Amino acid sequence: MKLGAAIILVFILCGISTFAHHGNAEFDLTQSVNLKATVTDFIWSNPHSIIFFDVKSASGKATRWSCETLQPALLHRAGWTKDSLKPGDQVTLVVHPAKNGKPVGYLERVILANGDELKLGAL
């Protein structure tokens, strides 16, 4: 009985932690922005892969952005590899921007220079 209660408690505590981490509260999921960018780095890692990129303003000033995306296993299922994005790649990233206005976002999709798209699958 005590072991069963302990197991249930562990699952509840893990669930609360997971929900808090994956709430996406910092991103405005009602908005999407298209950013013409140059990839500077692509980190293929758990729990989320991250894309770092520069976006130039009309005056030519570059702003360093980053966007969070899915874990490698889910990206792989959607057709991505760790080499899908490389430094220097010219892309358009469609992201849900941060609510606080900082240059970060949550990835919706990537449009490559040749027009092909990298999507997040059915998610």
The residue among 72, 103, 87, 84 whose CA lies nearest residue 41 is: 87
**Contact, 21 vs 14, CB < 8 A?**
no
Q: Which domains does the chain have, with CATH numbers?
A: 25-119 (2.40.50.140)
3-state secondary structure of 14: helix
Question: In the 8-state DSSP scheme, what is residue 1?
Answer: -
According to the model, what pLDDT value does residue 118 have? 94
- Does the structure show a pLDDT above 70 at 95? yes
CB 32 within 8 A of CB 55: no
Per residue in 61-87, pLDDT tens?
Answer: 999 999 999 999 999 999 999 999 999
Rounded to two decimals, the pTM is 0.78
State how far the Cα of 36 lies from the Cα of 33, in Å rounded to an integer.
10
